[in-house]
Amino acid sequence: MSPVNRLQEVPTRPFHYAGARDRDLLCDRVSLARLVREYGTPLYVYSATNILGRVQLFAEAFAGMRATVCYSVKANSNLSILRLLAASGTGFDIVSGGELERVRQAAKSSLRRVVFSGVGKTAAEIDAALAARILVFNVESPAELDLLEQRARHLRKRAPVAMRVNPDVFAATHPYISTGMTTHKFGVAIGDATALYQRAAKSPYLVPTGVSVHIGSQIRVTEPFGQALQRVMEMVRELQSLHGIRIQHIDAGGGLGISYDDPAPTGKDRKDAQAFDPMAAVRGYAQHIRTALAGFDGDLLLEPGRFIIAQAGALLAQVLYTKRNGSKTFVVTDAAMNDLIRPALYQAYHSILPLRRQRNRPSAVVDVVGPVCETGDFFARDRELPALGAGDFLAILDAGAYGMSLSSNYNSRPRAAEVLVEGNRHRLIRRRETMRDLLAGERIFLNGGTE
């Protein structure tokens, strides 16, 4: 794992009020109020320093092992962020041909450190990945193995393969992002994998090089990672001793979780919040993996996404109106579920802070909602927050992962702009979409013709 500049401290969040008397919320050393004046809202803001600091945590926790972080592109696929990560030595975990092209555009030299996962790879995607000479295909079904062999034969190439095995290990997380049980669509049953390795070993176009496992996302208890890899190691030993198939790398997948309800910089905004120590989380994760892989003489691949990028990002929004319906008070913002769908999709919790802190400001219990015509369009329900009025700005924290990457144009809303901050500098890394962008691909047909 290539090192990055050592950081003395990696804060949980880069968003903070600099001191007791400072009124502005900052990202690193940049005022967020300044950013909204320059770029408008809704606006995604990311800290490059925090992103690289999280990569460094993995480098330190896995020191002495041949470990490579393959950042999960689906978490946040902005080209500038991919370039930043590639420069720090990371590889990439992709799940589509589109993500492969993003890596190519951002850092072509990193293609050899790409892991291609996903249950539905198409022939065209496989061809593109073979041409790019990626590190490995994580194969998730016998049918995919057949197609991969056919495409490799057609292109006269040899495809490196790892079976994504399903260890049937329970991970305590949201059911939509749990992936390691036999009832899930992902991977192949670990008991069926040996036969697939034997098939691959006999093919002149397939090279079995690794084993992959991924049990879910946003997992805060690290023991299941060790349990899954213990089962993987049993299979690796069997492949070597009984079938002469040497496994060169083990892909431990991603899934290490964060705390979305960590105490905010102004104090706890949720009574059951517990302080989150990212360094301790990575060290505990690494210890379970080290123990499970004791004696393995090969490379380790890690696929963190959320853990690296989530707390480095925030979504900024402006308050449009406040209103009361019966006993409920609503704070209506110009950001909506199309900008950040996690609360609507997973009932996810995100801390919310005003961009301008005022002493002795009263608080109120409110719902923070967007303008989209869905009752599910909300960011917080029954949340005690400092009183907010029309024209105020707020920051929705921990939105760096699965925020912009899951955004949409629902209600014909242009997507937000994105800004990357590093220290006291900032730069626009995605301009705000316009209605011209939204309508560019559409055609109007009238009376059999085109207008």
Give the domain CATH number at 67. 3.20.20.10
Instruction: Over range 236-243, report the average pLDDT.
Output: 94
Q: What is the pLDDT at residue 198? A: 97
**20 falls in which pLDDT band (50, 70, 90)?**
low
Strands 67-72 and 91-94: parallel
Contact (CB, 8 A) for 51 and 15: no
In a domain, residue 356? The reply is no
Q: What is the pLDDT at residue 216? A: 82
Q: What is the pLDDT at residue 184? A: 63
Contact (CB, 8 A) for 173 and 219: yes
H or E segment to which residue 336 belongs: none
**175 falls in which pLDDT band (50, 70, 90)?**
very low
Our count of domains for the chain comes to 1
287-296 pLDDT tens trace:
999 999 999 9
In a domain, residue 90? The reply is yes
Contact (CB, 8 A) for 258 and 275: no
In this predicted structure, which of 117-121, 136-140, 430-434, 442-446 has the lowest mean pLDDT?
442-446
β-partners of residue 408 are none
Q: Which residues of 349-380 are buried (b: 16+ CB within 10 A; e: fewer)?
A: bbbbbbbbbeeeeeeeebbbbbbbeeeebbbb
**386 falls in which pLDDT band (50, 70, 90)?**
very high
Tokens representing residue 259 in the block: 């705390």
From the list 373, 440, 444, 446, the catalytic residue is 373
In a domain, residue 114? The reply is yes
Residue 19: exposed, middle, or buried by beta-carbon count in 10 A (0-12, 13-18, 19+)? Answer: exposed
Of residues 240 and 216, the one with the higher pLDDT is: 240
Q: What is the pLDDT at residue 30? A: 96
60-78 pLDDT tens trace:
999 999 999 999 999 999 9
Instruction: Over range 385-414, report the average pLDDT.
Output: 97
Q: Is the pLDDT of residue 427 over 70?
A: yes
Percent of the chain exceeding pLDDT 90 equals: 78
Contact (CB, 8 A) for 301 and 312: no
Question: How many other β-carbons are positioned within 10 Å of the β-carbon of residue 387?
Answer: 15
Q: Domain of 181?
A: 48-306
Q: Which residues of 256-295 are buried (b: 16+ CB within 10 A; e: fewer)?
A: bbbbbbbbbbeeebeeebeebebbebbebbbebbbebbee
In a domain, residue 217? The reply is yes
Contact (CB, 8 A) for 419 and 45: yes
Q: Would you call 70 a catalytic residue per the annotation?
A: no
Tokens representing residue 235 in the block: 């299979």
Q: What is the pLDDT at residue 18? A: 75
C-alpha distances in Å from residue 79, one per residue of 3, 4, 39, 106 = 21, 19, 19, 5
The percent of the chain in helix, strand and coil, each rounded to the nearest 5, is: 35, 25, 40
Q: Is the pLDDT of residue 448 over 90?
A: no
What does the alpha-carbon distance between residue 195 and residue 191 come to, in Å, rounded to a whole number? Answer: 9
Contact (CB, 8 A) for 425 and 436: no
Instruction: Over range 361-367, report the average pLDDT.
Output: 93
In a domain, residue 94? The reply is yes
Q: What is the pTM of this model?
A: 0.91
Give the residue carrying structure tokens 């400072």.
Answer: 22
Q: Is the pLDDT of residue 122 over 60?
A: yes
Q: Is the pLDDT of residue 266 over 70?
A: no
In a domain, residue 424? The reply is no
Percent of the chain exceeding pLDDT 70 equals: 89
245-262 pLDDT tens trace:
999 999 999 989 998 876
In a domain, residue 388? The reply is no
In a domain, residue 445? The reply is no
Instruction: Over range 299-317, report the average pLDDT.
Output: 97
Question: How many other β-carbons are positioned within 10 Å of the β-carbon of residue 423?
Answer: 11
In this predicted structure, which of 208-212, 330-334, 343-347 has the lowest mean pLDDT?
343-347
Sequence-ordered strand ranges (E) for 290-347: 299-302, 313-325, 328-333
Task: Round the average pLDDT of the chain to a whole number and report it.
Answer: 90
Q: What is the pLDDT at residue 220? A: 77
Q: Where are the alpha helices (DSSP H) in 248-325?
A: 278-292, 306-309
